[in-house]
């Protein structure tokens, strides 16, 4: 067995290579949480020496994971990197339809943008999981094979999509209860792609027993990590409700594999509350991160009641950081705007509060216009907003602190209490320890 010194040298070398790779990328910084996780791994006795940590080792080495959700047309590399710059420790690609991914080269180049030099544990970067969807065992297995060969850290099966297109295609949340098919898919991927961890993302069922039964079947079939979105398939679009964190907690308690909690996180306080309430090893956010990509940057979090100007200035700054990244790494895409439709959608969400002010309606319209299809045009709109915010009075740009893109269709969400912070932290740490011990046992039994 190589010594711990050899292991440390490997990690140091990886970080050195990483630094060289990162130098030309403006705005990149290794996140504190990412650093903590990697250093935890480098000192862990169970870390396989001279090889990068596997996804599951990374997840369970702790501390908790802060996850950027898979999002169709919004999980471009530039956005993933933006959230990493502000504390995200694990990110996903958007959902990739397995049949299209396997059979169409142009689908792959328009939808898949894994950045091998900047993402993935192989180079000491926070990991990337590629998400696939479909009900055909052959296509799912082949898509997983191609993605594994491209070097992603994990493959995730989408078993939570509630959209009509998923119903029509029999995938996502509609496939979830068909456990004979999901089990077959999981087993086939495990058999054919044994070296890339397999995970799944599910929604809860109406009844907790059904949720637990489905989750257990996925675990037994070989899924190595599960994300649970605490809403049912019906709780979608305008019917979206506060997520059921207690149901997620039940899944955490009943499974042996790590569980990520998803749904209803709006603020940094919610991040703390969902981890405390569920004891999950991490939490995943989607819509709140789209509006505030610095959700996980706890050191610089703004209070809910901060002055509107302070909030808007932060939003413009984030937007400009995103645009710089998107200039260096233009999002892939097809259609009228190509990848620029992703840029426009991100800018719109980050600046939703500003654009909702009639004073800036012209800029909102300009962003939405079909003639805005290049990054320099979008950048000009953001610069224009920044200049106009500077000369506006505080009164002119005032908006209620409860107003946000996240809440656009919803009742004001309940502020989630953090019940007993220390007890919650102790429970999460205990769970991480148990997961580590189980993993070591499994590794020992393999050698």
Ligand X SMILES: Cc1cc2nc3c(=O)[nH]c(=O)nc-3n(C[C@H](O)[C@H](O)[C@H](O)COP(=O)(O)O)c2cc1C
Size of the site for ligand X (CB under 6 A): 21
Selected binder of ligand X within 85, 285, 294, 315 (CB under 6 A): 285
**CA gap 111, 185 in Å, rounded:** 22
Q: Is residue 61 a contact partner of residue 41, using CB atoms and an 8 Å limit?
A: yes
Nearest distance from C-beta of residue 69 to ligand X, angstroms = 3
Footprint of ligand X on 29-68 (CB under 6 A): none
Cβ contact 194:182 at 8 Å:
no
- Check if the beta carbon of residue 218 is closer than 8 Å to that of residue 186: yes
Query: Which of 287, 297, 321, 379 contacts ligand X by CB under 6 A?
Result: 287
- Phi-psi label, residue 264: left if phi above 0, alpha if psi -120 to 50, beta otherwise: left
161 classed as catalytic: yes
Q: How many residues are present in the chain? A: 447
Q: Nearest CA to 430 among 281, 272, 290, 238?
A: 281
**Minimum CB distance to ligand X, residue 22 (Å):** 27
Residue 89 sits in the site that holds ligand X (CB under 6 A): no
Q: Is 158 a binder of ligand X (CB under 6 A)?
A: yes
State yes or no: residue 265 binds ligand X (CB under 6 A): yes
Helix (H) or strand (E) holding 203: strand 198-203
Retrieve residue 154's tokens. 């994990």
Q: Tell me if 229 contacts ligand X by CB under 6 A.
A: yes
128 belongs to the binding site for ligand X (CB under 6 A) = no
Among 201, 277, 340, 431, binds ligand X (CB under 6 A): 201
Task: Tell me how far, at minimum, the Cβ of 345 lies from ligand X, in Å.
Answer: 8
- Distance, CA of 289 to CA of 83 (rounded, Å): 8
Under DSSP, is residue 304 helix (H, G, I), strand (E, B) or coil?
Answer: coil
* Part of the chain binding ligand X (CB under 6 A), chosen from 6-14, 83-91, 259-267, 273-281: 259-267
Judged by CB under 6 A, which of 69, 82, 214, 261 binds ligand X?
69
Helix pair 77-85, 308-328: axis angle to 10 deg: 130
Q: Exactly one of 62, 134, 264, 268 binds ligand X (CB under 6 A); which one? A: 264
Nearer to ligand X, 33 or 342 (CB): 342
Question: Is 288 an interacting residue with respect to ligand X (CB under 6 A)?
Answer: yes
Quick check: 340 and 373 in contact, CB under 8 A? yes
- Give, as one character, the DSSP assignment of residue 293: T
DSSP-derived 3-state class of residue 302? coil
Among 60, 74, 81, 141, interactor with ligand X by CB under 6 A: 74
Give the binding range for ligand X (CB under 6 A) out of 13-21, 78-86, 114-122, 155-163: 155-163
The residue among 244 and 285 lying less far from ligand X, judged by its C-beta, is 285
Binding mask 90-109 for ligand X (x = CB under 6 A): ----xx--------------
Q: Is residue 40 within 8 Å of residue 62, measured between CB atoms?
A: yes
3-state secondary structure of 32: helix
Question: Residue written as tokens 């995200």?
Answer: 88
x/- binding map, residues 162-181, to ligand X, per CB under 6 A? --------------------
Chain position carrying tokens 């989750």: 215
| Region from 10-18, 28-36, 211-219, 256-264 binding ligand X, contact rule CB under 6 A | 256-264
Catalytically active residues are: 161
Q: Would you tell me which residues interact with ligand X (CB under 6 A)?
A: 69-72, 74, 94-95, 131, 158, 160-161, 201, 229, 262-265, 285-288
């Amino acid at each position: 067995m190589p010594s711990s010194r050899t292991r440390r040298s490997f990690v140091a070398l990886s970080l050195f290579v990483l630094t060289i790779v990162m130098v030309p990328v403006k705005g990149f910084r290794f996140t504190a949480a990412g650093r903590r996780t990697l250093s935890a791994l480098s000192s862990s006795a169970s870390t396989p020496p001279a090889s990068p940590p596997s996804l599951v080792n990374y997840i369970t080495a702790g501390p908790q994971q802060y996850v950027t959700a898979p999002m169709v047309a919004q999980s471009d590399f530039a956005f993933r990197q933006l959230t990493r710059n502000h504390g995200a420790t694990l990110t996903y690609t958007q959902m990739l339809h397995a049949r299209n991914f396997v059979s169409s080269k142009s689908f792959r180049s328009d939808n898949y943008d894994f950045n091998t030099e900047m993402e993935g544990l192989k180079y000491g970067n926070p990991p990337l999981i590629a998400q696939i969807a479909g009900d055909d065992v052959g296509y799912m297995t082949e898509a997983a094979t191609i993605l594994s060969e491209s070097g992603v850290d994990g493959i995730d099966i989408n078993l939570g999509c509630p959209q009509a297109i998923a119903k029509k295609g029999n995938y996502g949340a509609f496939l979830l209860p068909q456990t004979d098919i999901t089990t077959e898919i999981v087993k086939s991927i495990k058999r054919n792609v044994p070296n890339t961890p397999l995970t799944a993302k599910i929604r809860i069922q109406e009844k907790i027993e059904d949720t637990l039964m489905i989750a257990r079947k996925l675990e037994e079939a070989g899924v190595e990590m599960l994300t649970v979105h605490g809403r049912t398939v019906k709780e979608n679009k305008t019917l979206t409700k506060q997520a059921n964190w207690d149901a997620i907690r039940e899944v955490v308690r009943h499974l042996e594999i790590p569980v990520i909690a998803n749904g209803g996180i709006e603020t940094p306080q919610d991040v703390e509350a969902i981890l405390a309430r569920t004891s999950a090893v991490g939490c995943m956010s989607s819509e709140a991160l789209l509006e505030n990509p610095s959700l996980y940057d706890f050191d610089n979090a703004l209070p809910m009641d901060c002055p509107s100007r302070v909030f808007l200035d932060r939003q413009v700054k984030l937007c400009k950081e995103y645009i710089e990244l998107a200039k260096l790494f233009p999002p892939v895409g097809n259609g009228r705007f190509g990848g620029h439709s992703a840029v426009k959608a991100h800018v719109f969400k980050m600046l939703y509060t500003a654009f909702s002010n009639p004073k800036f309606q012209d800029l909102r319209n300009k962003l939405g216009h079909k003639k805005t299809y290049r990054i320099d045009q979008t950048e000009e709109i953001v610069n224009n907003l920044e200049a106009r915010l500077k000369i506006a009075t505080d009164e002119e740009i005032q908006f209620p602190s409860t107003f946000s893109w996240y809440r656009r269709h919803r009742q004001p969400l309940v502020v989630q209490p953090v019940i007993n912070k220390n007890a919650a932290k102790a429970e999460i740490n205990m769970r991480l320890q148990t997961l580590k011990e189980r993993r070591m046992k499994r590794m020992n039994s393999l050698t």
